[in-house]
């Protein structure tokens, strides 16, 4: 197809028109990089003319690494009864929350494996304890997979499980576990996980109960371009029905310490093209977060010129993606500097994307060098899963 057709699609998308999956595939594979990025940036500027790029201070706390689902890309989990399996005591989780609050975190992300004994009751107790001790912390946690698992363990339907953990303190649901939603690539990397349709079903139920969430995508495990677009289409279709996704967060598969080792990774350029395409295709999702953690700080800065309006979080603690090799640490001072160096105005946000502190000039920039990302060293030898 000719450049004229590509230009027309880009112009329509930049003007706020909707593009079809076929058109998205054409743009992803054929559009000149600078033209794709410029169209995405036009859309971002229209949504956020103030030039503000947000960041969050949060902590990911993993309550257990024991998991029965054994996703092939996951370097974090251990099978039940494995010598390296653990469950964090509640006291330790609360201690980590206290540390996070002390460093200015506004959100905690509690995530873990599918422990065979963790039903809804476990999460009710955990969230209630965190809520009681730290009412100021937003609990943005879990993902559809964990909700399905706990509902199964407790013999409840999905809506009831969500109602109960929400009543206990859960504020919103993370987009975790989306990986690749289309059936073929999903089966290849996570054969025991719920289907993409089921992941979306849990999100739909949560949205209809008034609980918002984010949506994610992990690229680079051998999926086709077409499958990447199908993933975007599935997210957009649900958003059209519920409006419950606050943000879309694409990131790249990390190849260390897992069973997919050796598969082709997504290149940085492919990732950046996906960021731009997501801004154009997901015309019904407000925020687009790019991942400096998996792609690096340079790519993170570039993404701010390709439609992204959020650079994610400092992540005072991260154990899952870093177990698989992500090593791009940052800190508050550096992250704000990165945003400013990309010619944007940095602002700390809360989970709902409200601005908490806008750093209008370098004079307003935070100086607290203690606020840095910390990765656990739990990257362990791969244990063969049958």
Using the rule CB under 6 A, give the single segment among 4-12, 63-71, 96-104, 150-158 that binds ligand SF4.
Answer: 63-71
By CB under 6 A, is residue 217 in contact with ligand SF4? no
Least distance (Å) between residue 65 CB and ligand SF4:
7
Contact 310, 242 (CB under 8 A): no
Residues 6+ apart with CB under 8 A from 49: none
Contact 244, 211 (CB under 8 A): yes
Per CB under 6 A, which of residues 153..192 are in contact with ligand SF4?
Answer: 190
Least distance (Å) between residue 37 CB and ligand SF4:
31
**Nearest CB to ligand SF4, comparing residues 37 and 113:** 113
Least distance (Å) between residue 147 CB and ligand SF4:
12
**Nearest CB to ligand SF4, comparing residues 76 and 271:** 76
Using the rule CB under 6 A, give the single segment among 18-26, 66-74, 88-96, 254-262 that binds ligand SF4.
Answer: 66-74
- Nearest-angstrom CA–CA distance, 249 and 312: 9
**Nearest CB to ligand SF4, comparing residues 79 and 101:** 79
Least distance (Å) between residue 111 CB and ligand SF4:
8
Query: Residue 149's closest CA among 120, 177, 172, 181?
Result: 120
By CB under 6 A, is residue 107 in contact with ligand SF4? no
Least distance (Å) between residue 310 CB and ligand SF4:
23
- With CB under 6 A as the contact rule, the residue among 10, 40, 67, 215 that binds ligand SF4 is 67
Least distance (Å) between residue 274 CB and ligand SF4:
21
Per CB under 6 A, which of residues 75..94 are in contact with ligand SF4?
Answer: 76-77
Angle of CA points 124, 95, 132, to nearest 5°: 40
- Nearest-angstrom CA–CA distance, 139 and 172: 7
**Nearest CB to ligand SF4, comparing residues 67 and 336:** 67
**Nearest CB to ligand SF4, comparing residues 76 and 281:** 76
**Nearest CB to ligand SF4, comparing residues 55 and 76:** 76
Least distance (Å) between residue 174 CB and ligand SF4:
12
Per CB under 6 A, which of residues 287..346 are in contact with ligand SF4?
Answer: none
By CB under 6 A, is residue 113 in contact with ligand SF4? yes
- Nearest-angstrom CA–CA distance, 305 and 119: 43
Least distance (Å) between residue 249 CB and ligand SF4:
16
The number of angstroms, rounded, from the C-alpha of 363 to the middle of its chain's C-alpha atoms is 31
Residue 181 pairs with which residues in a beta bridge? none
- Nearest-angstrom CA–CA distance, 34 and 28: 12
- With CB under 6 A as the contact rule, the residue among 70, 148, 158, 180 that binds ligand SF4 is 70
By CB under 6 A, is residue 230 in contact with ligand SF4? no
Using the rule CB under 6 A, give the single segment among 74-82, 223-231, 300-308, 356-364 that binds ligand SF4.
Answer: 74-82
For ligand SF4, the binding residues (CB under 6 A) are: 67, 69-71, 74, 76-77, 113-114, 145, 190
């Amino acid at each position: 197809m000719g450049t004229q057709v590509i230009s027309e699609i880009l112009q329509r998308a930049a003007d706020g028109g909707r593009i079809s999956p076929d058109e998205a595939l054409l743009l992803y594979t054929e559009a000149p990089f600078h033209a794709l990025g410029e169209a995405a940036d036009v859309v971002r500027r229209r949504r956020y003319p103030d030039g503000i790029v947000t960041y969050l201070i949060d902590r990911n706390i993993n309550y257990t690494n024991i998991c029965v689902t054994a996703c092939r890309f996951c370097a974090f989990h251990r099978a039940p009864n494995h010598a390296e399996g653990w469950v964090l005591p509640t006291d330790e989780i609360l201690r980590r929350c206290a540390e996070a609050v002390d460093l200015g975190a506004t959100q905690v992300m509690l995530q873990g494996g599918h422990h065979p004994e963790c039903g809804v009751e476990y999460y009710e107790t955990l969230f209630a304890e965190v809520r009681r001790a730290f009412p100021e912390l937003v609990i943005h946690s879990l993902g559809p997979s964990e909700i399905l698992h706990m509902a199964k363990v407790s013999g409840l339907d999905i809506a009831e499980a969500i109602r109960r953990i929400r009543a206990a303190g859960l504020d919103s649901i993370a987009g975790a576990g989306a990986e690749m939603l289309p059936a073929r690539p999903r089966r290849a990397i996570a054969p025991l996980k719920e289907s993409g349709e089921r992941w979306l079903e849990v999100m739909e139920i949560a949205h209809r109960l008034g609980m918002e969430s984010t949506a994610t995508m992990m690229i680079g495990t051998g999926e086709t371009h077409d499958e990447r677009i199908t993933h975007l289409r599935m997210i957009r279709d649900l958003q059209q029905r519920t409006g419950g996704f606050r943000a879309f967060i694409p990131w790249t598969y990390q190849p260390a310490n897992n069973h997919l080792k050796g598969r082709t990774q997504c290149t940085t350029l492919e990732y950046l093209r996906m960021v731009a395409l997501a801004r154009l295709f997901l015309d019904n999702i407000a925020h687009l977060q790019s991942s400096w953690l998996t792609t690096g700080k340079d790519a993170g800065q570039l993404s701010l010129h390709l439609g992204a309006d959020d650079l994610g979080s400092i992540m005072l603690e991260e154990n899952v993606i870093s177990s698989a090799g992500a090593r791009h640490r940052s800190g508050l001072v550096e992250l704000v500097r990165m945003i400013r160096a990309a010619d944007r105005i940095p602002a700390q946000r809360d989970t709902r994307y409200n601005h908490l502190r806008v750093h209008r000039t370098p004079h307003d920039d935070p100086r607290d060098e203690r606020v840095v990302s910390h990765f656990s060293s739990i990257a362990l030898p791969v244990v063969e899963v049958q």
